[in-house]
Amino acid sequence: MPGLGTSFGRGGATTAQQDLANADCILIEGSSMAEAHPVGFRWVLKAKERGATIIHVDPRFSRTSALADLWVPIRAGADLVFLGGLVRHVLENRLFFREYVLHYTNASCLVRDDFRDTEDLDGLFSGWDPERRTYETESWRYEGDDLARPLRDPTLEHPRCVFQLLRRHFTRYTPEMVEKLAGVPPDLFGRVADAFTSASGREKTAAICYALGWTQHSKGVQIIRTAAILQLLLGNVGRPGGGILALRGHASIQGSTDIPTLFDILPGYLPMPKAGTGEDDLAGYVRNHRKVAGQWSALPAYVTSLLKAWYGPHATPESDSGYRFLPQVSRDHSHFSFITEMADGHVDGFFVMGQNPAVGAQHSRLERKALARLRWLVVRDMVEIETASFWYDSPEIETGELTTANVATEVFLFPAAGHAEKEGTFTNTQRLLQWREQAVDPPGDARSEAWFIHQLAKRLRSRAAAAGDPLDEPLRALDWWYPEDEHGEPHIEAVLAEINGWRSDPAEAAAGLVHSRDAEDRPHHGPQVKGFGDLRDDGSTACGCWIYSGVLGPDGVNRARQREPSGAYAHGWGFAWPADRRILYNRASAAPDGTPWSDRKKLVWWDDTERRWTGDDVPDFVAEKPPDYVPPPDATGLAAQRGDAPFLLHEDGLGWLYVPEGLKDGPLPTHYEPLESVADNALYGRATNPAVRWFVRDDNRFAPPKDPRFPYVLTTYRLTEHHTAGGMSRFLSHLAELQPELFVEISPELAGELGVASTDWVTVSTLRGIVEARALVSRRMRPLQVDGRIVHQVAMPFHWGSAGPNRGDVVNDLIPLSGEPNVTIHEGKALLCSVTAGRRPRGRDVTEALDRLVRETPPHPEAPSTEPRPSERPGGHGHHGKTT
């Protein structure tokens, strides 16, 4: 989430679900929280019981809308205009929280004089390189180029101060523009604006919740950025009942970015070394990524301790502290990149764990055909999901595109243990690590992922040792020390201890030491460290993920396992990174002088007698740094930040209304139309995000704007009754009977035009795929007035596939591959489709119909004709600390 990362410093929700109960207004947009996060939604209802206004902005009247005070139907893909309208409303009506904005945000910072806004360049920022389709971002930086000590104008009058740039940038995001592009009438927009702004200030706070309805867009990061700007302007970050809650898609998705499954970041949001950028040694890496001021000043300690955790005794001066063993990223290896390479026959093998890309990944048709080009495929799951069975039951078998006899892929299907059959932690949406006990043994040969990876690593390492190939050196250098139980399962608490970090010198067993002996029963390490403040850059400490440090400290208490909540923020239940801080940036809950903004909204404040910060949460600040602290000129690290600078991860300690570095598509959010759109971009000359990646291929085509062949807006979503690609729900009768079939939600008006009623079959087509579904006609879908004409939107859940007892077409077949510039996420929430009455064609007629559609549709005018060369491709997850 670079949206949150670049705005506030950390790529995680700023608040906790329980804290929503303290909000005076909650805006839920890009999420159907009641459906996808039903347990957390109780806190929204609690806020409502206390008198808060609940607003739901969504194309669909969902189960969330049903409980909201205000439902605002919106055209899918127009969220940024809507939010930008709110930003303009706050700026033009002087509704911002002036003291907060002045002290805690970069509103007063001056930007370089060669910066040009999209207002100047008709939808482009300065630095655009049309050949490479990327930005040179130099001109976006602060005047004087000093991120730690920017030049500031406290009057906010300087024409190049962020505040004035922001005003100018959003000046045309008027209520009329919101109506024109988003389909929200001005009176309804006004209701939202009034409810949200009147619930902000010293005495009140408002919160925003979002999920994949914001991220899965060609400008997803910038939608989230707009929300961040709104919250910073209204002074709603770091305060009780405020903030932005990023609702994560499923269990431990937050965890899987903290300790990433991504190609371009290392645990704790350390960047992956990049080839050709002067990072061939650790000194170069540190030079590129260490910051003078703020938390990232300690980057050498974090990365050295990570290398020590991975390479142990091999992390020596000879191996550059182990840095030599790290691979370097040479190009985009994100999911879509390797899938397209796989489809072209360039990938041999593939491990799939906890995923079902044959159904759940975008452009699933292309994914399934890619799987058929592999030599081998390992799938670990609880049931035989489509990713394992594609070779005999995929829709491509029916169409004749694949024939079982000709699929050479050797599929290894391993039975996996379910979450109640193994122990470990989940890191939930609010950065909370919660330990889960093993309730029962897994059946038969089913084993945990930890077991599988551990056993695989042991076998690979023994082969590497025997072969002696220099290429295998990083594998041989791994410190694979994990003690295991009688079934060969590694002790998960030993892994957690490594993640927490310890002193490297082996110690004999002592009080508090957790699993300090290795598989051969030799002392392996010393006492666990207390937190990331103890980490050193000299190899004397090891730490698998610095932000998790403190979860299993020297007292040996596994804080993730704790279940004794106390106080307003339930400290004592689990452990929230970092350092058990439940509300991030909570220094901002007090005024610059350290006193609470109001008694009603107090959280953390300066105790002048004790000379330290105190309150209801662990202060997200240097505990002894007084509010009036001014750093001496030569200070570094946290000491280089002022006493009124709450955003510790940013060098200037400020919340960023404007992002001077770290984003690839602009320092300010700009509305672009979805890659497939029913409307022209009324704001700028260009329709789509210029830096987006299109994955240009014949089998990945985009409809041009307002294409009459595809007149409707399609958005996708999830049902409470099912779980993502269905592996954990479709195969269970008690869940499947609740939503047994794929359907498409359409308005009575569109149903009338199509001549269909609920339960009738309809066919939904795009340039990528053709699926059939039952019609579900309801007033919960509404036609909207967009740019002077009626726009029909349809919505489809995406849980079905070709395997199991309850089958259905794969909705993700409809969605093109595309890459948002910062995180390479696709656009699954706003695209174009056609809907016709009746069932879809069968067999070869499907491919023929698709081919005909592709032949007849002209290319999208803004899509490149060829892909940029691989080394020049954008993509990835941005700058360190700015990601998830």
Partner 1 sequence: MIGDGIASANQRTHRFVEERTPVGFFTDPTLCIGCKACEVACKEWNGLPEDGFVFSGTSYDNTGALGASTWRHVLFLEQDQSRGPQLAGPMSGGEGEDPFRWIFLSDVCKHCEHAGCLEACPTGAIVRTEVGSVLVQDDVCNGCGYCVVSCPFGVVDRRPQPLPGAGGAFKCTFCYDRQASGLPPACAKVCPTESIQFGPLDEITARAARRVEDVRALGYADASLYDARGTSVGATRAVFLVLGSPEAYGLPADPVVPTVYLRDAWTSSLLTSLVALAGVIAAFALL
Catalog residues that contact partner 1 under the rule CB under 8 A: 21, 34-35, 38-39, 41-42, 45-46, 49, 61, 63-71, 73, 183-185, 187-188, 191, 719-721, 733-741, 743, 757-759, 774-780, 782, 784-785, 805-806
CB of 720 to partner 1, least distance (A): 5
Alpha carbon 560 to chain centroid, angstroms: 23
Task: Locate 365 and state its tokens.
Answer: 């048709």
CB of 66 to partner 1, least distance (A): 4
Of the pair 66, 623, the CB lying nearest partner 1 is at 66
CB distance 549 to 531 below 8 Å? yes
Q: Are strands 612-615 and 604-607 parallel, antiparallel or unpaired?
A: antiparallel
Of the pair 438, 720, the CB lying nearest partner 1 is at 720
Collapse the DSSP code of 794 into the 3-class scheme (helix H, G, I; strand E, B; otherwise coil) and give the result. Answer: strand
Query: Can you say whether residue 278 is alpha, beta or left, with left for phi > 0 and alpha for psi between -120 and 50 degrees?
Result: left
Task: For residue 259, count CB atoms less than 10 angstroms from its CB and return exposed for 0-12, middle for 13-18, buried for 19 or more.
Answer: middle
* Integer angstrom CA distances of residue 366 from 401, 430, 693, 723: 11, 34, 17, 22
CB of 71 to partner 1, least distance (A): 4
Q: For residues 796 and 782, what is the distance between their CA atoms, to the nearest angstrom?
A: 15
Of the pair 415, 748, the CB lying nearest partner 1 is at 748
C-alpha closest to that of 233 among 111, 57, 104: 104
Of the pair 4, 762, the CB lying nearest partner 1 is at 762
Of the pair 394, 739, the CB lying nearest partner 1 is at 739
Of the pair 547, 713, the CB lying nearest partner 1 is at 713
Q: For residues 824 and 217, what is the distance between their CA atoms, to the nearest angstrom?
A: 10
CB distance 235 to 848 below 8 Å? no
CB proximity list for 317: less than 8 A, separation 6 or greater: none
Of the pair 42, 160, the CB lying nearest partner 1 is at 42
Q: What is the 3-state secondary structure (H, E, C) of 506-536?
A: CCCCCCCCCCCECCCCCECCCCECCCHHHCC
Of the pair 102, 728, the CB lying nearest partner 1 is at 728
Element at 230 (helix H, strand E): helix 220-233
CB of 22 to partner 1, least distance (A): 12
Q: For residues 71 and 408, what is the distance between their CA atoms, to the nearest angstrom?
A: 51
Q: What is the DSSP string of 163-220?
A: HHHHHHHHTT--HHHHHHHH---HHHHHHHHHHHHHT-SSS--EEEEE-HHHHSSTTH
Of the pair 480, 573, the CB lying nearest partner 1 is at 573
CB of 749 to partner 1, least distance (A): 13
CB of 718 to partner 1, least distance (A): 12
Task: Locate 455 and state its tokens.
Answer: 């056993």
CB of 188 to partner 1, least distance (A): 5
CB of 576 to partner 1, least distance (A): 18
CB of 712 to partner 1, least distance (A): 18
Of the pair 182, 223, the CB lying nearest partner 1 is at 182
C-alpha closest to that of 361 among 382, 336, 331: 336
Q: Are strands 376-381 and 349-353 parallel, antiparallel or unpaired?
A: parallel
Q: Among all chains, which residue has been given the structure tokens 């689990």?
A: 574
The phi, psi pair for 127, rounded to 5°, reads: 95, 5
Of the pair 352, 786, the CB lying nearest partner 1 is at 786
Q: For residues 2 and 221, what is the distance between their CA atoms, to the nearest angstrom?
A: 6
CB of 868 to partner 1, least distance (A): 42
CB of 779 to partner 1, least distance (A): 6
CB of 757 to partner 1, least distance (A): 8
CB of 719 to partner 1, least distance (A): 8
CB of 726 to partner 1, least distance (A): 14
Q: What is the DSSP string of 462-514?
A: HHHHHH--GGGHHHHHS-----B-TTS-B-HHHHHHHHH-EESS-----TT--
CB distance 773 to 809 below 8 Å? yes
Q: Among all chains, which residue has been given the structure tokens 């081919």?
A: 851
CB of 790 to partner 1, least distance (A): 12
Q: For residues 240 and 236, what is the distance between their CA atoms, to the nearest angstrom?
A: 8
Q: What is the 3-state secondary structure (H, E, C) of 293-341?
A: ECHHHHHHHHHHHHHHHHHHHHCCHHHHHHHHHCCCECCCCCHHHHHHH
Of the pair 46, 331, the CB lying nearest partner 1 is at 46
CB of 480 to partner 1, least distance (A): 40
Q: For residues 434 and 86, what is the distance between their CA atoms, to the nearest angstrom?
A: 36
* Integer angstrom CA distances of residue 514 from 501, 528, 715: 11, 8, 49
Of the pair 678, 831, the CB lying nearest partner 1 is at 678
Collapse the DSSP code of 429 into the 3-class scheme (helix H, G, I; strand E, B; otherwise coil) and give the result. Answer: coil
CB of 29 to partner 1, least distance (A): 15
